[in-house]
Amino acid sequence: MARILGGKYKIGEKIGSGSFGEIYIGSHIDTSEIVAIKMESRKSNQPQLLYESNLYSILQGGSGIPKMKWCGSDGDNNVLVIELLGPSLEDLFYFCGNKLSLKTVLMLADQMLTRIEYLHSKGFLHRDIKPDNFLMGLGKKANQIYMIDFGLAKRYRDPITNKHIPYRENKGLTGTARYASYNTHSGIEQSRRDDLESLGYVLMYFLRGSLPWQGLQAATKRQKYDKICKKKLSTPIEVLCKSYPVEFASYFHYCRSLTFDQRPDYGLLKRLFRNLFTRAGYDSDYLFDWTILKYQQMQQQKTQSQPNAPLAVPTSLEPLEEDNNKGVNGSTQLDAERPLISVDHQRTVNNGSSMPTAMPRVSTENVSKPVRLRRVSSTKQ
Q: Give the strand pairing for 34-41 and 77-83.
A: antiparallel
CA dist., res. 347 & res. 94, Å (int): 11
- 79 and 195 both lie in a single domain: no
Quick check: 353 and 176 in contact, CB under 8 A?
A: yes
- 65 and 129 both lie in a single domain: no
What was the pLDDT predicted at 45? 80
Cα–Cα distance list, 307 to 187, 312, 315, 372 (Å): 61, 13, 22, 20
Beta bridge partners of 88: 135
What was the pLDDT predicted at 81? 96
- 69 and 118 both lie in a single domain: no
- 118 and 249 both lie in a single domain: yes
- 214 and 72 both lie in a single domain: no
Give the containing element (helix H, strand E) for 300.
Answer: helix 289-305
CA dist., res. 130 & res. 90, Å (int): 8
Number of domains in the chain: 2
Beta bridge partners of 344: none
- 117 and 45 both lie in a single domain: no
CA dist., res. 304 & res. 307, Å (int): 6
- 46 and 195 both lie in a single domain: no
Domain with 153 in it: 87-294
- 106 and 202 both lie in a single domain: yes
Residues tagged active-site: 128
What was the pLDDT predicted at 44? 83
Task: Determine if residue 99 is labeled as part of a ligand binding site.
Answer: no
| First vs last C-alpha separation in the chain | 46
Q: Digits of tens for pLDDT over the chain (381 positions)?
A: 678 988 899 999 998 886 678 999 999 999 999 999 999 998 888 888 989 999 999 999 999 999 999 999 988 999 999 999 999 999 999 999 999 999 999 999 999 999 999 999 999 999 999 999 999 999 999 999 999 999 899 999 999 999 999 999 999 999 999 999 999 999 999 999 999 999 999 999 999 999 999 999 999 988 999 999 999 999 999 999 999 999 999 999 999 999 999 999 999 999 999 999 999 999 999 999 999 999 899 888 888 776 553 433 333 333 333 333 333 333 333 333 333 444 444 443 333 333 334 443 333 333 333 334 445 444 443
Amino acid at 361: R
- 140 and 265 both lie in a single domain: yes
- 78 and 194 both lie in a single domain: no
Q: What single-letter DSSP state applies at residue 167? A: P
Residue 339 lies in a domain: no
Cα–Cα nearest to 127, from 193, 38, 46, 50: 193
Residue 348 lies in a domain: no
- 107 and 168 both lie in a single domain: yes
The model carries a pTM of 0.81
Residue where a domain stops, chosen among 294, 321, 355: 294
What was the pLDDT predicted at 307? 55
Residue where a domain stops, chosen among 255, 274, 294: 294
CATH code assigned at 50: 3.30.200.20
Beta bridge partners of 224: none
Quick check: 50 and 40 in contact, CB under 8 A?
A: no
What was the pLDDT predicted at 359? 40
CATH code assigned at 171: 1.10.510.10
